[in-house]
Structure 1
Amino acid sequence: MANPVLLNNVDHKDLRVITRRGDAWGDNLMLAVTFPAEFRTLQGHYPIVFRKSNEGAFEPVALFGFQEGENLFLRDGRWDATDLPLSVERLPFMIGVSGQELIMHVDLDNPRVSSSEGEPVFLPHGGNTEFLERMNSTLLALHQGLQDIAGFTEALLQNELLESFVFDIELNDGSQNRLAGFYTINEDRLAALDGAVLERMNRAGYLAAVYFALASLSNFRALIERKNGHA
């Protein structure tokens, strides 16, 4: 359970953040939420698919594994990809809203939070470290990117471009695995869209994201190989 509090340089003057990667620091994630502007960088590493959130809205996610708690990108204390989703990179920080102002919170129950090791958040005299400034920028980019999800998924639904899929996997050891409960772009319906619809989607910045999401599906083969290597 998260324990977010408003970050400040008095109560948290000794706060440090562990930046190593591994299960012990909460990286045993099967997936992470992403957003259209991030697809360009993530599609080189992860399959990007869609799921329904707990509130029933569709959201895009980057897949790291095939089952809960499985992250096939963790290798010897590092994340084996050059780009992390911002929703992962920003931890243990999160954005809060106070009126019209965005404010920074820290989850004190996150395993990355420490007072003895990791990157310092504040300078000895109370100023922000470069690490905190970078996290601030990361949070802002994430906040802005997440605002695009509703419009993007609405455009996909209006044009009936999302379809559910089931992905059956047989590993080298003969074991059977199934990935279900996710959605992807229907390529036939995409190809049938008329020019006016494609132009609207392109002007909104959604068309490139659609093709990046489709291109990312080629990463399923690499993800299976990672699974075979972990088996």
Structure 2
Amino acid sequence: MASKPRAASTPPLPLFYRDPLPLSASVHAAWRLKEGDAAFAQDAAYAPLVLGELAAASASYPVVFAGEQAAPVAILGLEQRNLFVADGQWAPFVHVPAYVRRYPFGFIATRDPDDFVLAIDAGSDRVVQAGEEGEPLFEDGKPSALTLRALAFCDAFKSEAAATAAFSQALLDKGLLIERRADATLPDGRKLGLEGFQIVDYEAFQALDSDTLVDWHAKGWLALINFHLASLDRFRVLLDREGAAAVEGGAT
């Protein structure tokens, strides 16, 4: 579930982003953003999640934990493709992760580790660097309404990300996460395997001490763990979608 390997001297870019740049009224005064679709996410087999959307995401996708920080992610496909995007459109009636909805905007850290600036992916097909197409990012030297909305959304996302990290760290500290892999055989006989993720060990979860249970209940974490565990049944949905995609791909 890791990003494509890059040169050791180059830090990996966040998922989807190709050329993130901090926005500046003086440098990007003429830049605009045109309407777009979800085609940028069509090859993503997963998407990061934040705490406030975990319950909603669990109704649509398997929600698991990945990486050293045990970050929660939604599994979008069993291969390197998103089974919920077709012809640039996200499947109806399923939750679209906030990480996807904020793109092509995001935050970039400054030299101050506690300070961030709004950025945009200059590599996005939606970014227009000259001309009149799309909505302006700046007007009269000030952020436009579009940019202010993006700033508010990214700020809320950052706050949620901090809460998410605290939740994940608590799961790690209590030793609740165990490695798992998912194996499936498609109708055409192909075998697929997904590994590199963790789930909550139900028995260890049931054995939590009473003080922790009271604390986590007050924080809403117990419900989130139960949503996560219930979401694992969504692997069947992925298998069904993968099988349907294989049939469509083989149709003549």
- Shorter-chain TM-score category? 0.7 to 0.9
Instruction: Please give the alpha-carbon distance, in whole angstroms, between the structure 1 residues aligned to 2:202 and 2:25.
Output: 51
Give the C-alpha shift of residue 39 in structure 1.
0.3
| 1:123 to 1:97, Cα distance in 2 relative to 1, 3 A | closer
Instruction: Please give the alpha-carbon distance, in whole angstroms, between the structure 2 residues aligned to 1:89 and 1:121.
Output: 19
Instruction: Please give the alpha-carbon distance, in whole angstroms, between the structure 2 residues aligned to 1:73 and 1:195.
Output: 40
2:224 is aligned with what amino acid? A
> Are the aligned partners of 1:119 and 1:131 in contact in 2 as well (CA < 8 Å)?
no
Instruction: Please give the alpha-carbon distance, in whole angstroms, between the structure 2 residues aligned to 1:153 and 1:118.
Output: 42
Matched, 1:90 2:102: yes
Instruction: Please give the alpha-carbon distance, in whole angstroms, between the structure 1 residues aligned to 2:33 and 2:62.
Output: 29
Give the C-alpha shift of residue 216 in structure 1.
1.7
Which residue of 187, 190, 207 maps to 1:192?
207
| 1:45 to 1:117, Cα distance in 2 relative to 1, 3 A | farther
> Are the aligned partners of 2:138 and 2:147 in contact in 1 as well (CA < 8 Å)?
no
Task: Give me the identity figure in percent.
Answer: 28
Matched, 1:109 2:123: yes
Matched, 1:73 2:93: no
| Match of residue 230 from structure 1 | 245
Instruction: Please give the alpha-carbon distance, in whole angstroms, between the structure 2 residues aligned to 1:210 and 1:185.
Output: 7
> Are the aligned partners of 1:18 and 1:117 in contact in 2 as well (CA < 8 Å)?
no
Give the C-alpha shift of residue 206 in structure 1.
2.0
> Are the aligned partners of 1:31 and 1:63 in contact in 2 as well (CA < 8 Å)?
yes
Matched, 1:49 2:64: yes
Q: TM-score scaled to structure 1, two decimals? A: 0.85
CA-based RMSD = 2.4
Deviations 1:70-99 (A, max 9, x none): 100112221114432121211111113444
> Are the aligned partners of 1:37 and 1:209 in contact in 2 as well (CA < 8 Å)?
no
| Match of residue 5 from structure 1 | 21
Structure 1 gap segments, 5+ residues each: none
1:74 is aligned with what amino acid? V
Which 10-residue stretch deviates more, 117-126 or 215-224? Answer: 117-126
1:160 is aligned with what amino acid? G
Instruction: Please give the alpha-carbon distance, in whole angstroms, between the structure 2 residues aligned to 1:36 and 1:118.
Output: 36
Secondary structure of the structure 2 residue equivalent to 1:165: strand
Instruction: Please give the alpha-carbon distance, in whole angstroms, between the structure 2 residues aligned to 1:49 and 1:117.
Output: 43
Which residue of 61, 64, 74 maps to 2:76?
64
Instruction: Please give the alpha-carbon distance, in whole angstroms, between the structure 2 residues aligned to 1:121 and 1:83.
Output: 28
Give the C-alpha shift of residue 128 in structure 1.
4.2
Instruction: Please give the alpha-carbon distance, in whole angstroms, between the structure 1 residues aligned to 2:91 and 2:101.
Output: 14
> Are the aligned partners of 1:19 and 1:118 in contact in 2 as well (CA < 8 Å)?
no
How many residues are matched?
226
> Are the aligned partners of 1:21 and 1:74 in contact in 2 as well (CA < 8 Å)?
no
Structure 2 gap segments, 5+ residues each: 1-12, 247-252
Instruction: Please give the alpha-carbon distance, in whole angstroms, between the structure 1 residues aligned to 2:31 and 2:98.
Output: 21
Give the C-alpha shift of residue 159 in structure 1.
2.3
| 1:141 to 1:166, Cα distance in 2 relative to 1, 3 A | same
1:138 is aligned with what amino acid? F
Q: TM-score scaled to structure 2, two decimals? A: 0.79
